Structure 1
Amino acid sequence: MTTTYDEPFGPEYLRPAQAPCPHCPCCSALLCEKGRNSVMQCHGHVADPETVAIVSACPCSAETTRGTHAWRVAQIRVVKHATEQPLPKAAEQVLRALAGAESFEDPTGELRGLRARQYADGHEDMWRITRLGRRYLLALEEPRYSSAVHVNSVDVKTRTAKVVVLGWHMGREVTVLADFLAQATGLDLTNLPGRYLDAKVNLGAADPDDLVLTRIQMPAPVTEDHVAARPLWAAKGGAQ
């Protein structure tokens, strides 16, 4: 016969306290690690509304903080906007005026749209251009070229990939979001390493984090027509 005992006043089990983040006053180190490596940022990894309010402005995962997932997504979004579906000229003129601290008129209310896109911030006579707004203007002007991209490795935990953009540098690795590569090619993350891809890239960037890959795709297969169309020197193995 087995006897059981009720312990209504048993020990209270408490969750161990997590180490605070050394870079912000609002989060634990573990939460900020998750937030940095997620487009949901820190506030997307907590459920309690009160906690969400506390960590919603955490700089460790913000899209204004260089190197975070949210920042990388914002760079891609802005560059694609500038190169594929740019602002109307009236909105661009207002944004350029803000960038140059010039006086301007806004009869068509473009500032509201610029603020919604986070290209401008402020109100009434206190408007200013944001970093994303300046990135948009830069994307309008910087040349973009087609380049082969080799995927060296993928970190599934952080969902990032180390790639080499051959048109930029033959040896330096560039960190990109692995999910963007996977979505563009239809490949699983585990099948990306070792692959060559094609992309449009701002090859004039000095910092690898400033390289923004768009129009990512699998390279076209080499056919007999491509081989037949090669120059004579290429068929012989190189330039003479």
Structure 2
Amino acid sequence: MGLTPEEHRETVHGCPCSAESTRGTAAWRIAQVRATRLARELPLTGDVEALLRSMAAGARVEDPDGLFPQLKVRGLGQLVHGMPAITPLGHTYLAGRDDVRSVTGVRVVDVDMQTRTARVEVPAWRPDETVTVLLDQVLSDTRFPPDLVAGRWFEAEANYEAPSAERLVLTYFRAAVPAEAAAADVETDDGGPGGSE
């Protein structure tokens, strides 16, 4: 709904094609980023995360301390036949906690203004394959105008050991520092050319 003009919001409200549970939709992509950032920035307390991990392992869990609502409100857990169960977003959260995430170079191959998406190359993951991200995520993180994004290199945090494009989650886009500028900064810090006397 956030990407829909005011006059059409009622039409898309509640539409299953724009739900977080529908892979490939904008809502799904936003949810993947949100769950990953939650895992990195505001992780669950130890006992709540332990409950989530038990659910992920397929254990029949009891919740005598009433912790499950904390998972449900975040979309990480749901009731299935009256029993607590993990959601796909819960698995994304755990991947955000467990996966190795590193800053890596990424290149925006092209953008689609109609779908508000961008195709991105992540050479550290698979140099011959692209992944789709929300254009507004890139623009919001970098403050670049949309007409200057295509073809440009950025840096982003990625779980580059992800087994598939659906599992690869890119966060924290920022302008890549050119190699020459980085070298100049090192020289300046060492008192070399450009350094203060």
Question: Residues of 2 paired with 1:60 and 1:211: CA distance?
Answer: 21
Determine the C-alpha separation between the residues in 2 that align with 1:122 and 1:63: 17
The one-letter amino acid of 2:17's match is: C
Conserved in 2, the CA contact under 8 Å of 1:39 and 1:69?
A: no
Q: 1:103 Cα deviation (Å)? A: 4.4
Find the residue that maps to 1:80 and give its secondary structure: helix
> Counterpart amino acid of 1:149?
V
Where does structure 1 differ by over 4 angstroms across 4 or more consecutive aligned residues?
38-41
Q: State yes or no: 1:189 paired with 2:146.
A: yes
Q: 1:150 to 1:72 in 2, by over 3 A?
A: same
1:178 paired with 2:141, answer: no
After superposition, the CA RMSD in angstroms is 2.5
Q: Which residue does the alignment assign to 2:94?
A: 137
| Aligned counterpart, 1:116 | 73
Q: What is the CA–CA distance in structure 2 between the aligned matches of 1:46 and 1:220, rounded to whole Å?
A: 40
Matches within 5 A, 1:92-103: 92-103=49-60
1:40, 1:63 → 2: CA distance? Answer: 14
Helix, strand or coil: the match of 1:172?
A: strand
Which residue is equivalent to 1:161?
118
Q: Greater strand percent: which structure? A: 2
Alignment correspondent of 1:78: 35
Deviation at residue 61 of structure 1 after TM alignment:
2.1
Q: Deviations over 1:72-131 (max 9, x none)?
A: 000000011112211000110111122223344434421111111111112895221111
Q: Take 1:102 and 1:129, find their aligned partners in 2: how far apart are those partners?
A: 11
| Secondary structure class of the residue paired with 2:16 | coil
What 5-or-longer segments of structure 2 have no aligned partner? 190-197
State how far apart, in whole Å, the 2-side matches of 1:78 and 1:111 are: 17
Cα drift, residue 226 of structure 1: 3.6
Q: Indicate the residue corresponding to 1:67 in structure 2.
A: 24
Q: Does 1:209 align with 2:188?
A: no
Query: What's the TM-score once normalised by structure 2's chain length?
Result: 0.82
Whether the aligned pair in 1 keeps the contact of 2:119 and 2:133 (CA below 8 Å) is yes
Distance in 1 (alpha carbons) for counterparts of 2:149 and 2:67: 42
Kept after mapping to 2: 8 A contact 1:39/1:70: no
Q: Which amino acid in structure 1 is aligned with residue 94 of structure 2?
A: L
Relative to the length of structure 1, the TM-score reads 0.68
Cα distance in 1, alignment partners of residues 94 and 185 from structure 2: 41
Separation in 2, partners of 1:39, 1:64? 17
SS in 1 for 2:126: coil
Letter in 2 for 1:45: H
**What is the aligned partner in structure 2 of residue 45 from structure 1?**
8
For residues 81 and 117 of structure 1, the distance between their equivalents in structure 2, rounded to whole angstroms, comes to 9
Larger radius of gyration: 1
TM-superposed deviation, 1:228: 8.5
1:91 aligned onto 2:48: yes
Of structures 1 and 2, the one with the larger relative CO (CA 8 A, separation 6+) is 2
